[in-house]
Amino acid sequence: MADVSKLSLISRIAEALERLAPRPPQAPDFRAADAFVWRASDETAVPVPKVNRVDIGLLKGIDRVRDSLLENTQRFARGLPANNALLWGARGMGKSSLVKAAHAAVKADPPLKLIEIHREDIESLPALMSRLRTDPHRFLVFCDDLSFDGDDTSYKSLKAALEGGVEGRPENVLFYATSNRRHLLPRDMMDNERSTAINPGEAVEEKVSLSDRFGLWLGFHKCNQDEYLEMVRGYCTYFKLDAPADQIERDALEWAMTRGSRSGRTAWQFVQDLAGRLERRLET
């Protein structure tokens, strides 16, 4: 009887532990949507019913980088060789907007999927790559505003996932990132590595080699006044905001002056204000 009682107790303990244990992550259904957000906590991809993006034709002043990224994405969608891309440079000039617009502009069968991974989840990138490796779809994995500071060593996970390791990057995955920094790390961090290392050159090389994992570097620079006004006019035409052209131009320049910057983001913020004053909805 004692043995039976012990066996029953062990069974109840085992059942309780099974209930407490986290459920194994379910394989995402990538047919559910064209865009997803990677949730590292339970290693799942959450479908995004409606992506926040603009039409690629509305992105003005970045023609060269737009064409380069679009061509790279189209080649990848067709199963041809393509490069990981780093979009770096001035704030508000359409880096993340271009990635989302390029994804929408490329048509493929099966459809190209976009998966956003947050900067704080970058250490889970190898797990995401493992999930995608055997899926029949092709994926753009996108990280917005990617950079590393201080003692953050998660950049090593990114390096291994992109090109390193025995398996390497899956053939059906391409990685796009945006950053205000060309080398993803602040200059003072690299200078500190140089000053404290036994071999300063090797220490800096370790940091710079991260950006070398991106075969395509696309630089975004501040726009001039003509480019800024072209952005404003493009939005106004697209959304049929029919205020007098000279008034729009004058107000747009004043708007940029009060903010101390000219950029695609500034142009979009002005257009939102203009639409509000005209009592018009911005419907795509």
DSSP assignments along 126-166, one per residue: HHHHHHHTT-SS-EEEEESS----TT--THHHHHHHHT-TT
Q: Is pLDDT above 60 for 57? A: yes
Cα angle value 165/168/172 (rounded, 5°): 160
Q: Assess whether pLDDT exceeds 80 at residue 164.
A: no
The mean per-residue pLDDT over the stretch 248-260 comes to: 95
Residue in 22, 94, 88, 112 with CA at minimum distance from that of residue 56? 94
DSSP letter, residue 169: S
Residues 6+ apart with CB under 8 A from 228: 61, 252, 256, 262, 263, 266, 267
- Provide Rg for the chain, Cα atoms: 24
Contact 63, 234 (CB under 8 A): no
Strands 173-179 and 139-143: parallel
- d(CA 70, CA 68) in angstroms, rounded, equals 6
Question: What pLDDT shows up at residue 178?
Answer: 94
Average pLDDT of every residue of the chain? 84
- Cβ(89)–Cβ(180) below 8 Å: yes
CATH class of 35-220: alpha beta
Contact 139, 113 (CB under 8 A): yes
**Nearest-CA neighbor of 243 among 276, 199, 274?**
274
CA dihedral over 251, 252, 254, 258, signed as positive or negative: positive
Q: What is the mean pLDDT of residues 230-251?
A: 94
Q: Is the pLDDT of residue 266 over 80?
A: yes
Please give the Cα distance from 11 to 33 (Å, whole number): 42
Please identify which residue in the block is written with the tokens 């990057």.
169
Segment among 15-29, 35-49, 91-105, 115-129 with least mean pLDDT: 15-29
Q: Average pLDDT, stretch 236-256?
A: 94
Encode burial over 233-264: b for 16+ CB neighbours within 10 A, e otherwise. bbbbeebebeeeeeebeebbbebbeeeeebbb
Which amino acid is located at 248 in the chain?
Answer: I
Stated as kind and residue range, the H or E segment containing 113 is strand 113-116
**Mean per-residue pLDDT for 12-22?**
63
The model carries a pTM of: 0.81
pLDDT digits (tens, 9 = 90+) for 184-225: 766 554 445 444 444 455 555 555 667 778 889 999 999 999
The answer on pLDDT for 79 being more than 50 is yes
Range with the poorest average pLDDT among 26-35, 168-177, 241-250? 26-35
pLDDT score, position 149: 72
